[in-house]
Structure 1
Amino acid sequence: MQELVIDIPAPMWQTSNQRLHHMERARRTKHVRTLAGWAARNLTPVTGTVHVMAHISAPKKSRADVGNTYPTVKAVIDGLTDAGVWADDNDDHLVGPDMRRAAPTGVPGIYRIRLTITPTT
């Protein structure tokens, strides 16, 4: 099992409920994807299928629907794919991401995604 923690500033955070201009959405996605790729440099590449659990932390405790965080989580997954952590993020290599709520970061303007990567084979 491997773990990766990525802190994402609020201006780069995306949710399914936001109505962003396509260029702004692309800018945020590229930023998070690059950030995840750099963070993944300390991970050991995996072969076979892995299960990914994403623990989502907001800056403070508030009402949330973690399913709406999928655009940001997807950008992180794509960044790990770009970094070569796994061969591809299709169903042959990746189960999930399963998303769960985690404790608040307690840091204003900072969201956190903690990924748990567990081999299934």
Structure 2
Amino acid sequence: MTPWNGNGYTQAPAEPFVTVLHFDYPRPPIAANDRTHWAHKARLTKQVRIKTAELAKRIPELGRIRVSLVWVVKDKRRRDGGENITPTLKPMIDGLVDAGIVEDDTQEQVTRDMPLIEYRPGAVAHMELRIEEIR
């Protein structure tokens, strides 16, 4: 039902906010199968978190969100599934909190979809973080 706005007519509810942040990472900066030194991983984690916060600063504060990470690849080489790139998703979500989009990254405020690897012929390899408001 469309809500009454008090002016003699009804107003359709606004659509939920949806945006996609684009990262120029040709491969996930942090992956579950990486065997790097903890200090190197910590630096990468900080960089991803800061980059996400910078890209997200134009996004308004949202109460609850759904996030989806997609690694766009340009070839059909065999790769591990999306669970291998979930370590990149965590600092991205932390960056959204840093940008003030949500108050915290609890499951009540942030719903996470399993990351995907998507083949797009002719595309430049990159990563996309889709942010959708949940009402």
Query: % of aligned pairs identical?
Result: 25
Measure, in 2, the Cα distance between the counterparts of 1:82 and 1:16: 24
Q: Is 1:63 aligned with 2:66?
A: no
Could you say which residue in structure 1 is the equivalent of 2:41?
A: 25
Does residue 46 in structure 1 map to residue 36 in structure 2?
A: no
Counterpart amino acid of residue 104 in structure 2: D
Which of the two has greater helix per residue? 1
2:133 match:
119
Answer 1 or 2: higher relative contact order, Cα 8 Å, separation at least 6: 1
CA offset at residue 41 of structure 1?
1.3
Structure 2 spans left out of the alignment, 5+ residues: 1-16
Runs of 5+ unmatched residues, structure 1: none
Rounded Cα–Cα distance in structure 2 between residues aligned with 1:80 and 1:63 = 31
Q: Is the 8 A contact 1:2 1:116 kept in 2?
A: yes
Residue 22 of structure 1 aligns to which amino acid in structure 2? W
2:114 pairs with 1:95: no
**In structure 1, the residue corresponding to 2:113 is in which secondary structure?**
strand
Residue by residue over 1:40-66, the C-alpha shift from the partner in whole angstroms, topping out at 9 and shown as x without a partner, is: 01212101x222222222354322211
| Partners of 2:114 and 2:107 in 1: CA distance | 13
Residue pair 2:72, 2:119 contacting (<8 A) in 1 also = yes
TM norm structure 1: 0.82
TM-score normalized with structure 2 length: 0.74
1:100 shift after superposition: 2.0
1:74 pairs with 2:90: yes
In 2 relative to 1, CA 4–11 (structure 1 residues): closer, same or farther, beyond 3 Å? closer
Computing the radius of gyration from Cα coordinates, the structure with the larger value is: 2
